Structure 1
Amino acid sequence: MDSKLRLIQQSLNTRYSEWIREALDDLPDNFTITDPSISGHPIVFASRGFLKMSRYSREEVIGQNGKIFQGPKTNPRTVMEIREAIREERGVEVSLLNYRKDGTPFWMLFHMRPVFGKEDGRVIHFVAVQVPISTKQRRNGGVSLSEDGSGLNEVVFGSCRKEVDSDSLLELRRVLSLDSGSKVLDIEETCKASDFEERRAATAFNNILSVLTHCSELTGRLVCGKRCSVPGAGYVSSSLNISLGRIKQSFVLIDPHLPDMLIVYASDAFLRLTGYDRHEVLGHNFRVLNGVDTDTSTLHQIKESIQTEQACTVRILSYRKDKSSFWNCLHLSPVRNASGKIAYFVGVQIEDDCKNRDGHGLSPEMRQLSAVGAVKVAVRTSSISAGSSKS
């Protein structure tokens, strides 16, 4: 967990200035920021307003994803709509039934948009603004019920409500609730946000983006709310990032179509093994792991396998960021997209000192082949989805 928390910290620290969290905390809005490049697409920031609304602590939220706020009555179609927007790297605005920490449901307007890196057009983060939808009114035999039941006091009893004892009021609430066949808070029907709530969500996102933009200008790693440049051949989509993040092995994706065959994806396990931060690896050649005693003939064998589009397995001396060396059992394999063309090469690393069976009884070779298979499925599925969304 420590390594994942380190990645979560780096998610903001490597892109924005050091006071980014303080600046975001000054905003009054309810929102979360997630990072699709980290395994599980976790929350990397949650505002004070959001924590107050959901009744979770920051420690309970950071590192989790939106699933923890869903419950038995959360509409799965709405969740799928959000996932589809993430896959297509676009904004989405839906009414969503979420649950607080104590299990109470509440309707909110969920307004999510991607934030892009200005230099390469990649999705850096998703910002999700949550605006509580004002109490929904529901008619029951001429009586309007609200989430807290206050409609009974005003509409039924009016100015005479002081003459009615509290037991009668509670009994009437109970009868009307039973008659409706559901709780006083209607969670069966989708709540629609008002125009004011929609404007409030859009304004909140613009305020958040303004803070992110300003803090990115201070580091020179600029972000923007719209894709400022067309992603190049080495671009890995958010949906593929999320799919690859579920694979627990140490591996990298190399794009053979880029000059110098650059790394375009590095798994969390690879970062733990080598000690590098993600931004120190992406956009660099695999030579980043080479050192003074790395065997050149083995490097030539790796290069030759890429040129001939063949898989290979080698044992090579690699170096971590701190310059310590380790024997790297590297398996390299081509990865094809849905049309059968080679899209990437995947390199799966297992440290030689750890060359034994894992907790599931799998040999290192089987673990490598398992990781390669999972990567191939993720890439193929992503390319099929991308093709269908364009058609």
Structure 2
Amino acid sequence: MESSGEADPAGQDQDRRLAASLTARYSDWVLEALDELPGCFLLTDPSLAGHPIVYASRGLATLTGYARREVLGRNARVLQGAATDRAAVAGVREAVRAQRAHQVDILNYRRDGSPHWVLLHLAPVFHAADGRLLHFLAVQVPIAAAARRPPCRAAAAMFAACREEARVDEDFPCASHAGKVFVDMDKRGLGAEEPRVASDSEKEKAMSTANSIFSALNRYSKLTGLVVCGKRCDSVGIQALSSSLNLSLGRIKQSFVLTDPHLPDMPIIYASDAFLSLTGYSREEILGCNCRFLNGPGTSMEVLEEINQHICSEQACTVDQLNYRKDGSSFRDLLHVSPIRDASGKVRLHLSQVAFHIWVHLDVGTKHDFNGLTPEVWQLGAVGAVRVAVRGLSASGSLLRPSQ
């Protein structure tokens, strides 16, 4: 067994292997650059067995008490504990499975077993050129406690004694039980585990930290030629629309995108100028992305499931959804999704034909001139215009560029 203060060759070898997850994809200087960044954050590699932590910032030790060597190679669930909300964990797992960004207020645990609330900002790191998932970034911002009246001295002394007793119990073999006792005592006593909600400033801090990390990854990856982004921007395999169809679609002034249901993950293959203005993204940033890149904290999973069911049954639907712009601001999105059939009326087509789904977006918080129409009927106008363009051009076989 290794004696105190001696080097651990096996541990150092593991550190080098995990660091290669970053240095092989970016450059040898990326670790030093990340070390200079403030804040508490992790990078994990989903391509490695167990989805381990491959980088831990210096801020992690300050926030959690864990030294870097204690978390490298382990799954990020090491930071969770007995009272961590299972629904919150399930939301994180679903975001990882779907390879999308996610924010959640979650109860984590420090190395000494004490619980603390953090805003967890999870973001996938994609290769900008081919859309490969490289890493997951996990930023943790501590959530400040709401102001409350301090307990009386007698009560404070009693609860302090309870917490000290829990710490003593942790030295006994039944460590998991001791941890549970510690959490339960805190909840009954000082109410420290009451749910906390991140403030706007804490959310902005998480976004700012994430942006700084993405900038560092790109800045120190020039030698490898790698550019990363937080959205899947893979345009490989996307069918190129003909100039005639692009011209016809460009005349439609509503905010909408077209997706291809026959390609993996239903990527966006066309975005209107009004949609770019609504969301703040450039056309290059979203072509090839799934429409889920607009989702964020508060986006209803039930509504997303409703949309998926209608897409699978080739039916139209209209929903009210919370979505997000590029700058992180949210908007209430009246969203209409409808299949677009070719001249034969089919949605599932042969290789020589093309079919789409249209997603018409409307920010219900902004004033619009619908020319006396309801918002729903106004959205159907965009669907009708796209159908006319697609069916007219599909009959002449000019939906795709000739090279396709």
- Taking structure 1 as the reference length, what is the TM-score of the superposition? 0.49
Scaled by the length of structure 2, the TM-score of the pair is 0.48
